[in-house]
Amino acid sequence: MKFTVEQKPTPTFKQYVDSGEATIPSKHSVERIMCNVDWKTITFFSEAFKLNLKLPSKDEYLKTVKKVTSVLNKDCKCALEIESKSVCHINLDIASDADESAMQYESNDTGWVRTR
């Protein structure tokens, strides 16, 4: 049995903006979120690029993951918003009951994956 997988690396925010493909300003839905306690990072993946949020300490990392978890366990809105070539915002908010574009995420060992 043989399996072949070809995987295209996801560019970082900087690589994406520098490539000339980025529209400024623009908004990108977050499809996956990965956490790494050893590196104290939370990485947000959209279809176009990824953005790393590096926290200064393990305590700050754990507090931030707890806040992110509290939002992702509910219907929410999660997007990366490009403001300029050097600024990208991570918007993570609880959605209202009437919001038809609310997202849902499922957690796993490394983070969350968007299911809706």
Determine the pLDDT at residue 8.
82
User: What pLDDT, in 10s, does the model give residues 75-86?
Assistant: 999 999 999 999
Mean pLDDT of 73-102: 93
In this structure, are residues 105 and 30 in contact, taking their beta carbons and an 8 Å threshold? Answer: no
User: What pLDDT, in 10s, does the model give residues 12-56?
Assistant: 999 999 999 999 999 999 999 999 999 999 999 999 999 999 999
Mean pLDDT of 83-103: 92
Range list of H helices, the chain: 13-18, 58-72
Is the Cα torsion angle 75, 89, 16, 56 positive or negative in sign? negative
Q: DSSP for 24-50?
A: SSEEEE--EEEEETTTTEEEEE-SS-E
Q: Which residue in this structure is represented by tokens 């990824």?
A: 50
Determine the pLDDT at residue 31.
96
Whole-number average pLDDT of the chain: 94
Element (H, E) at 106: strand 105-107
